[in-house]
Amino acid sequence: MDQNTREELLRLFNSKLNQAMKFYLETCSRCGMCTHACHVHESMPQVKYIAAYRAEIVRRLYKRYFKKQGRIWPWMGESKELGDVALEELYEAAYSCTGCRRCMVYCPHGIDTQMLMSIAKLLLVGANSEPEILTLLADTSIEKGRSIDLLKTSFMQGVKRLEEEVVKKWKTEAGETTIPVDVEGASLLYVALAGAHSIIPAAAVFNAAKENWTLSFFEAVNFGAFVGDPTKTKLILDRIVNEARRLKVKEVCICECGTAYRVMKQLSGKQPFAVSSVTEVHARYIKEGRIQLDRFAFKDPVTYHDPCQIARNAGVIYEARYILNSLADDYREMSPDPKYNWCCGGGGGLVALGDETLDFRMKSAKVKAEQVNDTGAKILSTACENCHTQLSNLNDHYKMDVRVRFLSSMVADALVQPDALS
Amino acid sequence: MSEEIKADKVMDLRGMPCPMPVVKISKGIKEVEIGQVVEAHSTDPGSLTDFPAWARTSGNEILKTEQDGDVIKFFIKRTA
Ligand code: SF4
Ligand code: SF4
């Protein structure tokens, strides 16, 4: 690594050193409480998968370049030179961590390993050593923001073709638009993913609740966050913020995508609209009597996987239980306290890396498969696209014999139709 | 009737979870020679905005997009 690259990387490192980060970097007492907290380590017990060990990779660079002792006597203590070997270690640490923050719940100091891994990811971006596909996905999202005016018409035509499927789940009345797009003055902007499965059930439920809604032109997911690039994260986020402001909506509802929800909720700043997850919105509709669900729509035992970014990291826990207890005969908790729920093993961009990470994802999430099996459930519900993909892969790999379902699609399937109501 | 485009590789991306269609096409396009064409099938409305944006970003060219019932067909020429 040449001197210019090193200086640039240290500048990036420095840009992350706020008070919280310095606390995480200076506080670890090596108590070992996080050792068994990480699903990767519990499934594959190797030192490199201990949360504190990952953090140490970043911490040694910090000691070398940002602490007096490391700068004056770099050979003393545990400081480390920033070079190609360090980059390889940073890659291994960051891309074997899903950012689930389960370790943080166990740490007596609340050290946030995911935040420390965000330094590792930023340094990798700075050195052009991040996974290329994640940057391509982020750049594609940014390009879409730039050229959306050219693409709007074909998107609207594509959406129109889904209406028939929506109507099968909930019939719209004469004069109502089944999937409204680009409606100024709508109350709620729904931000979906590219897939039809992310739009059809949600549309049916909005229509059943008589919501004044409109569908976003953009996909909710933020690949800038996966790759750990704050500039790209903001550009991708701003597309939705600007659309919401232009349409003057009161609420932005994020589809079943954990990262999308957490980024929008925690990074969009003060805005004239509220941010909610589709799970929160569905729970609200049930509570307010805006939709009626068949209490016994699902007879088989159901369990729920809390997506880390929605539950542990953003606090949406109760709502999913409220929904499931409104439509399932036999709901079973996976963990006595949802904040200790195991990560599915697919976060942090690992699922987006596809087949490349499949072997690691399966091995590192063995404890998750066991946790699901222990419930005896036949339906495994979740509210995140990444989790759904990873849990489906685990289901095949470990022959778990469950049906993996999106919570929103279960709500749509449980809707009591108007003719049944009358 | 528009001109027939002969594809060198056909990819079925129907019903795939996010972000697999873009991930798969990014890999698939590299499996043909520069100048050759991949025909990608999708059923997702989001691909109508994702694929053109991806093509611009990756420097490839969408020659034609056509609709065949529920299926959206993209004819993409590898140019990068
Ligand atoms: S954030 Fe999750 S994956 Fe990362 S070290 Fe902590 S427990 Fe392990
Ligand atoms: S639990 Fe916290 S203080 Fe203890 S070793 Fe892990 S990171 Fe360090």
Which residue stretches of A258-398 are H helix? Answer: 258-267, 278-287, 318-327, 358-364, 366-375, 385-397
Chain B residue whose CA is closest to A388:
B17
Cβ–ligand 1 distance for A97 under 6 Å, the answer yes
A109 lines ligand 2 (CB under 6 A): yes
Sequence-distant (≥ 6) Cβ neighbours of residue B60 within 8 angstroms: B29, B54, B76, B77, B78, B79, B80
Closest residue by Cα to atom 4, ligand 1, is A97
Are A313 and A101 in contact by the 8 Å Cβ rule? The answer is yes
Count of CB atoms situated within 10 Å of the CB of A5: 15
For chain A, what is the largest distance between any 2 Cα atoms, rounded to a whole number of angstroms? Answer: 80
Residue A153 to chain B, least CA–CA distance (Å): 10
Choosing from B18, B34, B53, B80, the catalytic residue is: B18
User: Are residues B44 and A143, on separate chains, in Cβ contact within 8 Å?
Assistant: no
Amino acid of residue A133: I
Q: What are the structural domains of chain B?
A: 9-77 (3.30.110.40)
Yes or no: say if A154 and B48 are a contact pair by the CB < 8 Å rule: yes
H/E stretch holding B41 reads strand B37-42
**CA A315, chain centre distance (Å):** 13
Nearest residue on chain A to B25, judged by CA atoms?
A133
pLDDT at position A373 is 97
User: Which domains, from first to last, does chain A contain?
Assistant: 3-130 (1.10.1060), 134-287 (3.40.50), 302-418 (3.40.50)
Q: Complex ipTM, two decimals?
A: 0.92
The predicted structure's pLDDT at residue B1: 42
Predicted TM-score of the model (pTM): 0.94
**CB pair distance less than 8 Å for B70 and A161:** yes
Tally Cβ neighbours within 10 Å of residue B78. 21
Asked if residues A170 and A207 have their Cβ atoms less than 8 Å apart, the reply is: yes
Give the phi and the psi of residue A282 in degrees, each rounded to 5: -65, -40
pLDDT in tens, chain A (422 residues): 899 999 999 999 999 999 999 999 999 999 999 999 999 999 999 999 999 999 999 999 999 999 877 666 665 556 678 999 999 999 999 999 999 999 999 999 999 999 999 999 999 999 999 999 999 999 999 999 999 999 899 899 889 989 999 999 999 887 789 999 999 999 999 999 988 999 999 999 999 999 999 999 999 999 999 999 999 999 999 999 999 999 999 999 999 999 999 999 999 999 999 999 999 999 999 999 999 999 999 999 999 999 999 999 999 999 999 999 999 999 999 988 888 999 999 999 999 999 999 999 999 999 999 999 999 999 999 999 999 999 999 999 999 999 999 999 999 999 999 877 55
* Longest Cα separation, chain B: 33
Q: Is the CB of A350 under 6 A from ligand 1?
A: no
